[in-house]
Amino acid sequence: MAHKIAIIVGSLREGSINRKVARSICGLRGDNLDCSMIEIGDLPLYNQDLDANPPPQWTRFREQVGAADGVLFCSPEYNRGIPGVLKNAIDIGSRPYGQSVFDKKPGAIVTASPGAIGGFGANHQIRQAAVFLNMPLMQQPEAYLGHVTDDSFDDSGCLKEGPLKELVTKLAHAFHDWVEMIHRSRQLLAEDSAHAAAREKAHV
Ligand SMILES: Cc1cc2nc3c(=O)[nH]c(=O)nc-3n(C[C@H](O)[C@H](O)[C@H](O)COP(=O)(O)O)c2cc1C
């Protein structure tokens, strides 16, 4: 069964390398990852005063993420940190208090940059927020993709053959397995609890 994955890209740039990496991850596990790019460029800035009567763009975003089995963040690093547009989206999804759409959703974080350290700073800032939001996050392979440029992709936007594609392929497989494991274990636990309750009832 294909898992529904919400992809949140932290770049609004038309030719974003992070968007291309996200598309590649979906393409490489197209049979098992049913991916949707969730747009964040139109989200009004988060303002707690609006929680009682949220803008329709917030509601659309929350519903789209809420309907997913897992979340994949693909983001650039801006000034060694998380791009504002992505932080805004995370804040919107996390509220109102107690109704976060990220809660318990398995996730993975990928950062890509032409620079050598592959957005390490942004990656860990996203991770910090996602851990706080109770998302079980894939730990390996880590995905600080350095030296990624337009030249890493062919004319149709697919990754060219080479070490980067090999790593992204591993990532795509690992992310599928991660989402599968989290959902399957929850299902087994729920079945165990149901059996235990039935046994207890039978003994009364
Ligand atoms: C405002 C700004 C800040 C940036 N800061 C960093 C940075 O801290 N580290 C880094 O590796 N690249 C940085 N870059 C370069 C981006 O990694 C590069 O533009 C990348 O292509 C952006 O990702 P995208 O192609 O997905 O839009 C910065 C770019 C911008 C526009």
Q: How many CA atoms lie within 13 A of 102 on its CB side?
A: 27
pLDDT in tens, 99-131: 999 999 999 999 999 999 999 999 999 999 999
Span from the CA of 173 to the centroid of ligand 1 (angstroms): 27
User: Six-digit token pair at 136?
Assistant: 């079980």
Q: Tell me how far CA of residue 98 lies from CA of 64, 101, 164, in angstroms.
A: 18, 9, 39
Q: Tell whether ligand 1 has an atom less than 6 A from the beta carbon of residue 10.
A: no
pLDDT band at residue 197 under the 50/70/90 scheme: confident
Please tell me the distance from the alpha carbon of residue 79 to that of residue 186, in angstroms, as a whole number.
Answer: 38
pLDDT tens profile 161-196: 999 999 999 999 999 999 999 999 999 999 998 888
Residue 204 binned pLDDT confidence (cut-offs 50, 70, 90): confident
**C-alpha 79 to ligand 1 mean position (Å):** 7
- Which of 12, 79, 113 to mutate for ligand 1's pocket (most ligand atoms within 8 Å of CB)? 113
Is a pLDDT exceeding 90 seen at residue 43? yes
Strand-pairing partners, residue 198, are none
Atom of ligand 1 nearest to the CA of 75: 26
User: Which atom belonging to ligand 1 lies closest to the Cα atom of 10?
Assistant: 26
Please enumerate, as own/partner, the contacts of 159-165 that have beta carbons within 8 Å and a separation of 24 or more.
Answer: 159/20, 159/21, 159/24, 165/24
Cβ-contact 42, 85 below 8 angstroms: no
pLDDT range class, residue 31, cuts 50, 70, 90 = confident
Asked if residue 1 has pLDDT above 80, the reply is no
3-state secondary structure of 9: strand
